[in-house]
């Protein structure tokens, strides 16, 4: 018997003859906590516009992507979520929260399917304290009404039933191509009035341009907890000046440079407003509309972002070719006549008209959108060079940072651009200002006289940087 045991020990191909049984067996590493796994899943599937309606801060640093998959997109994020829920039960329990946190309703058929899934999940739980199925994880709902049948009352009824299955929604986006009954608006306001934190209400009808919904500023003020308000395509009823309406908690406002959007925003009381984003519309409102708006809200503004009228710089799904030829919003409107005395950050496209030489404003940060490598060369007459040269201490005595928003030096293929960018860094350094690219990095000139030249030196062809 002992001989057979020894023979099996030394002849078994799955047993090492030199191994010792006295050592302690290796233990499997402990599983990651659920909180850490959820953070990893959120990072892998995060898309900014899915999480919030607040515009991304233009001074948020961007990174050069070394990943072949690149940054997250809506479709890539959805595919990742679908893969996560299929790995195992423990992962599904966590990832299902992310799968249903953002719902897009694009057609009546899709709305019916979503409602059936939400109701089925609710029926599988206790349900004594309201819906507790997948709808409890939903934070953002986006509704589109372009599909056939979207003008039927049954479609609106299905949408509202979905709303009822999702009691914890914080962001609501609606693109309405058909007039909405007042009963639907009242029901939405009653359901989400106390809890909604962000709303995008696009009722600029495409099919019936002469008709608008019955939405009004009073409808918007029924959402008492709003932090983000997007009025860039709002075309609802007006409100009389004698009947003021107030949204006490709105901090981020998105408007377009059209008459309707500016007029509605002017009538609203926004005591907590801090950040303004102006998108380019199909037609530019007269200057008087901007002046009236700033007369009401200019003193509270801390940050203003004038988006570039280009489809390439606008990630929103309703971008159109008309943005390429639309008129710009003049940055001077926010800097002259003490209209925005507390403004700290101003971001505008390089294609804007030159700033007035009479400006003297205590700005701290300036961002330039649409910067290109060929526009940074100091020996070329470009709009970018003109704007950069105008950022002088006498006009902006408290200026601290100038940022090329969205432009990354490391991602550019121009062999000379690093030296050109360093030229601007040295120029602004003499003024006590940091000149940064979209990655928020200061380009440093590492080469010294007498050192080995590891690149192309364009110092001989660039003029000496001057402080003004």
Q: What is the pLDDT of residues 27-84, one digit of tens each?
A: 776 778 888 888 888 888 888 888 888 998 998 888 776 665 567 778 888 888 888 8
Dig out the tokens for 217 from the structure.
């500023």
Distance CA 93, CA 416 (A): 52
Q: Does the pLDDT at position 202 exceed 90?
A: no
Q: Tell me the pLDDT band of 16, cut-offs 50, 70 and 90.
A: low
List the beta strands (DSSP E) in 262-378: 268-269, 275-279, 303-306, 345-349, 365-369
Distance CA 352, CA 308 (A): 9
Distance CA 346, CA 327 (A): 18
In this structure, what are the phi and psi dihedrals at residue 419, rounded to the nearest 5 degrees? -70, -35
Mean pLDDT of 223-233: 91
In this structure, what are the phi and psi dihedrals at residue 199, rounded to the nearest 5 degrees? -145, 135
Mean pLDDT of 377-386: 89
Percent of residues, the chain, with pLDDT higher than 70: 78
From residue 279, give the alpha-carbon distance in Å to each of 235, 258, 268, 306, 356.
15, 9, 19, 7, 22
Residue 187 lies in a domain: no
Please count the other Cβ atoms lying within 10 Å of the Cβ belonging to residue 124. 11
Check: CB of residue 261 under 8 Å from CB of residue 255. yes
Residue 239 lies in a domain: no
Residue 39 lies in a domain: yes
Dig out the tokens for 411 from the structure.
């991602």
Q: Which residue, 206, 262, 217, is CA-closest to 243?
A: 217
The boundaries of the domain holding residue 437 are 350-468
Residue 466 lies in a domain: yes
Q: What is the pTM of this model?
A: 0.82
Averaged confidence pLDDT in the chain: 81
Distance CA 133, CA 135 (A): 5
Pairing of strands 345-349, 365-369: parallel
How many structural domains is the chain composed of?
2
User: Which among 48, 82, 99 is the end of a domain?
Assistant: 99
Q: Does the pLDDT at position 437 exceed 90?
A: no
Residue 364 lies in a domain: yes
Residue 463 lies in a domain: yes
Residue 371 lies in a domain: yes
Dig out the tokens for 321 from the structure.
């070719």
- Runs of H (alpha helix) within 88-152: 89-99, 108-123
pLDDT digits (tens, 9 = 90+) for 344-357: 999 999 988 888 88
Residue 90 lies in a domain: yes
């Amino acid at each position: 018997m002992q001989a057979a045991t020894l023979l099996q020990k030394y002849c078994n191909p799955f047993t090492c003859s030199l191994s010792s049984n006295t050592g302690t067996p290796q233990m499997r590493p402990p599983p990651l906590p659920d909180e850490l796994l959820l953070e990893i899943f959120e990072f892998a599937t995060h898309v900014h516009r899915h999480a919030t309606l607040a515009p991304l801060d233009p001074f948020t640093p961007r990174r050069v992507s070394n990943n072949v998959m690149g940054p997250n997109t809506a479709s890539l994020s959805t595919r990742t979520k679908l893969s996560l829920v299929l790995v195992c039960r423990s992962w599904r329990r966590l990832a299902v929260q992310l799968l249903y946190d953002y719902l897009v309703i694009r057609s009546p058929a899709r709305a019916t399917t979503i409602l059936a899934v939400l109701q089925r999940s609710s029926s599988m739980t206790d349900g004594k304290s309201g819906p507790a199925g997948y709808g409890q994880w939903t934070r953002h709902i986006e509704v589109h009404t372009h599909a056939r049948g979207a003008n039927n009352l049954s479609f609106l009824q299905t949408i509202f039933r979905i709303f009822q299955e999702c009691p914890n929604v914080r962001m609501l986006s609606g693109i309405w191509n058909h007039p909405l009954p007042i009963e639907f608006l009242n029901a939405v306001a009653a359901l989400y009035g106390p809890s909604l934190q962000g709303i995008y209400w696009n009722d600029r009808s495409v099919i019936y341009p002469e008709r608008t919904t019955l939405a009004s500023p009073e409808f918007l003020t029924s959402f008492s907890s709003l932090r983000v308000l997007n009025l860039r395509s709002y075309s609802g009823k007006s409100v009389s000046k004698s009947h003021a309406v107030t949204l006490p908690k709105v901090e981020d406002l998105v408007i377009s440079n059209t008459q309707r959007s500016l007029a509605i925003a002017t009538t609203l009381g926004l005591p907590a407003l801090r950040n303004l984003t102006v998108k380019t519309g199909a037609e530019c409102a007269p200057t008087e509309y901007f002046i009236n708006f700033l007369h009401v809200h200019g003193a509270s503004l801390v940050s203003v972002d004038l988006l570039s009228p280009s489809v390439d710089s606008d990630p929103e799904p309703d971008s159109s070719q008309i943005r390429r030829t639309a008129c710009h919003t003049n940055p001077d409107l926010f800097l002259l006549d003490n209209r925005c005395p507390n403004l700290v950050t101003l971001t505008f496209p390089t294609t804007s008209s030159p700033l007035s030489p009479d400006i003297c404003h205590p700005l701290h940060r300036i961002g330039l959108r649409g910067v290109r490598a060929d526009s940074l060369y100091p020996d070329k007459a470009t709009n970018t060079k003109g704007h950069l040269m105008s950022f002088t201490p006498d006009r902006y005595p408290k200026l601290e940072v100038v940022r090329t928003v969205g432009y990354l030096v490391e991602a550019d293929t121009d062999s000379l651009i690093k030296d050109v960018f360093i030229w601007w860094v040295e120029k602004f350094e003499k003024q006590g200002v940091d000149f940064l690219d979209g990655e928020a990095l200061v380009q440093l000139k590492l080469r010294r006289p007498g050192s080995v030249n590891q690149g192309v030196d364009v110092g001989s062809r660039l003029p000496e940087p001057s402080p003004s």
